[in-house]
Structure 1
Amino acid sequence: MKSSSGLTLYLVRHGETVWNRERRMQGQADSPLTKLGRAQAETHADLLARHEVDRIIASPLGRVRETAAVISRRLVVTPDFDDRLMEWSCGDWAGILYSDLSRLWPKEHAAWLGDRYGVRPPGGENMEDLRARAEAFWGEWQDRLTGRVALIGHGLMNRAIAGVLLDLSRAEIMAIRQKNDRIIRLSFTADRPIVHHFAGLRGPLTGLPGERGMTIPVS
Structure 2
Amino acid sequence: MTLICLVRHGETDWNAEGRVQGKTDIPLNQKGREQAELCGESLNPNDYDVLVTSPLQRAKLTAEIMNNYLELPMIEMEDFAERSFGDGEGLTFEERTRLFPDGNYPNKEDRHSFNQRVMGAVNRVSSMYPGKRVLVVAHGAVINQILHTLSNGEIGSGKTKLLNTCISNIHYQEEKWIIKNYNQIDHLTKKV
- TM-score range with shorter-chain normalisation? 0.7 to 0.9
Q: 1:193 aligns with which of 166, 178, 189?
A: 178
Q: Which has the larger radius of gyration?
A: 1
Relative contact order: is structure 1 or structure 2 higher (C-alpha 8 Å, sep ≥ 6)?
A: 2
1:48 aligns with 2:32: no
Displacement after TM superposition at 1:36 (Å): 1.4
Task: Give the TM-score normalised by the residue count of structure 1.
Answer: 0.75
In the superposition, the TM-score normalised over structure 2's length comes to: 0.85
CA shift for structure 1 position 155: 0.5
Name the Cα RMSD after superposition.
Answer: 2.2
Which whole-Å deviations, capped at 9, do the CAs of 1:74-114 have from their partners, x for residues lacking one? Answer: 111231111111111111122222222233x2xxx2212xx
1:55 deviates by 0.7
CA distance in 2, matches of 1:129, 1:158: 15
Instruction: Give the stretch that moved more between structures: 147-156 or 71-80.
Output: 71-80
Which whole-Å CA distance do the structure 1 matches of 2:121 and 2:46 have between them?
24
- The one-letter code matched in structure 2 to 1:199 is I
Does residue 172 (structure 1) correspond to residue 167 (structure 2)? The answer is no
Segments ≥4 residues shifted beyond 6 Å = none
Residues 127, 51 of structure 1: CA spacing in aligned structure 2 closer, same or farther, 3 A cutoff?
Answer: farther
Percentage of pairs with the same residue: 26
CA displacement, residues 51-79 of structure 1 (integer Å, 9 cap, x when unaligned)? 62221111100101110110122111231
CA distance in 1, matches of 2:3, 2:124: 17
1:163 Cα deviation from its structure 2 partner: 3.3
- 2:132 is matched with 147
The runs of 5 or more residues in structure 1 that have no matched partner are: 1-5, 113-119, 203-219
Q: Aligned equivalents of 2:185 and 2:33: distance in 1?
A: 16
Determine the structure 2 residue equivalent to 1:110.
101
Count of residue pairs brought into register by the alignment: 185
How many angstroms apart in 2 are the aligned matches of 1:57 and 1:12? 10
1:163 to 122, 137, 148: 148
Task: Determine the C-alpha separation between the residues in 1 that align with 2:171 and 2:47.
Answer: 14
Shift in Å at residue 177 of structure 1? 2.1
2:168 pairs with 1:184:
yes
